[in-house]
């Protein structure tokens, strides 16, 4: 599929989605439609085991909702539904935050499984929606609380704070701060390492975690047990055990 507002590239089982809506990579109807389509496509792609999401250029990852596109807000796929799909994605998703990530841009990173951020001094991250008299509408209230704890999330949201990369690292909002020229290289290194892990088992871990966080530990444990039964019958499990006995690296195929 061809895209106008995003760029999708694939290499070595890693697919990269680049938000490409200059100058701020803000989210309008076109971005929502294409991001939703890309996520659905990559979810089914056997050539994709890991996804990286980043922004075009060297200034901004994503400035959030495009305020000039408000008349189209109720059209097309809902932003909250798209981020829910990303959070529940059966493959690891890495946010390579190459610049400011504000509002919906911050919320997009929160839906990803890993977050790497550039050390560019102009790069900041946060949910400043209260400055406009509204609240984060794409899951930011819930995900930020879950990630940082109630008091830190309240402090960030109620005062519309924008954190630098080092501040975000200190509170646990991002996992790693990387020099700007090395950001995609570091994100790709993690992605390639993840592609070597057994895809079905990775899916099982992500699914079990999502269910447990959303529905409670009892339901999460039930899902974990269902996956264990399936995995023991998989070719990947046979390969993993055979490789262990033969003292070699396993080659997993997701079967």
Q: Indicate the pTM of the whole model.
A: 0.95
pLDDT tens-digit series, residues 69-116: 989 989 999 999 999 999 999 999 999 999 999 999 999 999 999 999
- Is residue 107 annotated as a catalytic residue, yes or no? yes
Give yes or no: residues 155 and 240 share one domain: no
CA-to-CA separations, 216 to 85, 194, 202, 221, in angstroms, rounded: 19, 27, 20, 9
Q: Which residues contact 79 (CB under 8 A, 6 or more apart)?
A: 27, 32, 65, 104, 107, 137, 138
pLDDT of residue 210: 97
Give yes or no: residues 38 and 126 share one domain: yes
Give yes or no: residues 177 and 208 share one domain: no
CATH number at residue 225: 1.10.12
Give yes or no: residues 124 and 210 share one domain: no
Give yes or no: residues 37 and 123 share one domain: yes
Neighbours of 12 (CB within 10 A): 12
CATH number at residue 149: 3.90.226.10
Give yes or no: residues 187 and 208 share one domain: no
Query: What span, in angstroms and rounded, lies between the C-alpha atoms of 215 and 211?
Result: 6
Does any domain span residue 26? yes
Instruction: Choose among 221, 204, 203: nearest CA to 212.
Output: 221
Give yes or no: residues 86 and 185 share one domain: yes
Query: What span, in angstroms and rounded, lies between the C-alpha atoms of 110 and 142?
Result: 10
Examine the pLDDT at 190 and tell me if it is beyond 80. yes
The domain containing residue 139 runs over which residues? 6-195
Give yes or no: residues 151 and 225 share one domain: no
Examine the pLDDT at 120 and tell me if it is beyond 90. yes
Give yes or no: residues 239 and 191 share one domain: no
Does any domain span residue 1? no
Instruction: Choose among 131, 69, 80, 127: nearest CA to 100.
Output: 127
Query: Tokens 């001094």 appear where?
Result: 121
Give yes or no: residues 14 and 117 share one domain: yes
Query: What span, in angstroms and rounded, lies between the C-alpha atoms of 213 and 200?
Result: 20
Examine the pLDDT at 150 and tell me if it is beyond 90. yes
Residue among 74, 129, 186, 249 flagged as catalytic = 129
pLDDT of residue 67: 86
Does any domain span residue 144? yes
Pull the structure tokens for residue 211.
């269910």
pLDDT tens-digit series, residues 227-247: 999 999 999 999 999 999 999
Give yes or no: residues 95 and 207 share one domain: no
Number of domains in the chain: 2
Instruction: Choose among 58, 70, 71, 72: nearest CA to 23.
Output: 58
Residue among 43, 107, 239, 246 flagged as catalytic = 107
Would strands 163-164 and 93-97 be described as parallel, antiparallel, or unpaired? unpaired
Angle of the 235-245 helix axis to the 217-232 helix axis, nearest 10 = 70
pLDDT of residue 71: 93
Does any domain span residue 166? yes
- Is residue 33 annotated as a catalytic residue, yes or no? no
Give yes or no: residues 167 and 232 share one domain: no
Cα four-point dihedral sign 121, 52, 92, 196: negative
Examine the pLDDT at 19 and tell me if it is beyond 80. yes
């Amino acid at each position: 599929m061809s895209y106008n507002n995003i760029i999708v590239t694939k290499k070595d089982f890693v697919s990269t989605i680049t938000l490409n809506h200059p100058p701020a990579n803000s989210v309008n109807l076109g971005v929502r439609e294409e991001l939703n389509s890309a996520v659905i496509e990559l979810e089914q792609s056997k050539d994709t085991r890991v996804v990286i999401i980043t922004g075009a250029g060297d200034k901004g990852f994503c400035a959030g909702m495009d305020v000039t596109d408000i008349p189209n807000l109720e059209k097309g796929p809902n932003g909250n539904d798209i981020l829910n799909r990303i959070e529940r994605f059966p493959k690891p998703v890495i946010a390579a935050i190459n610049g400011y990530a504000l509002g919906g841009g911050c919320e997009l990173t929160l839906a990803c499984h890993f977050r790497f951020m550039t050390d560019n001094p102009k790069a900041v991250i946060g949910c400043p929606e209260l400055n406009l008299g509204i609240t984060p509408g794409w899951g930011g209230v819930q995900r930020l609380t879950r990630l940082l704890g109630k008091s830190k999330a309240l402090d960030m949201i109620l005062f519309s704070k924008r954190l630098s990369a080092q501040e975000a690292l200190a509170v646990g909002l991002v996992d790693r701060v990387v020099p700007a020229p090395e950001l995609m290289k570091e994100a790709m290194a993690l992605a390639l390492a993840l592609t070597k892990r057994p895809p079905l088992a990775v899916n099982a871990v992500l699914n079990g975690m999502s269910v447990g966080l959303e529905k409670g530990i009892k339901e999460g444990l039930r899902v974990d047990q269902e996956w264990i039964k399936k995995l023991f019958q998989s070719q990947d499990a046979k390969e993993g055990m055979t490789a262990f006995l033969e003292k070699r690296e396993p080659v997993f195929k997701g079967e």
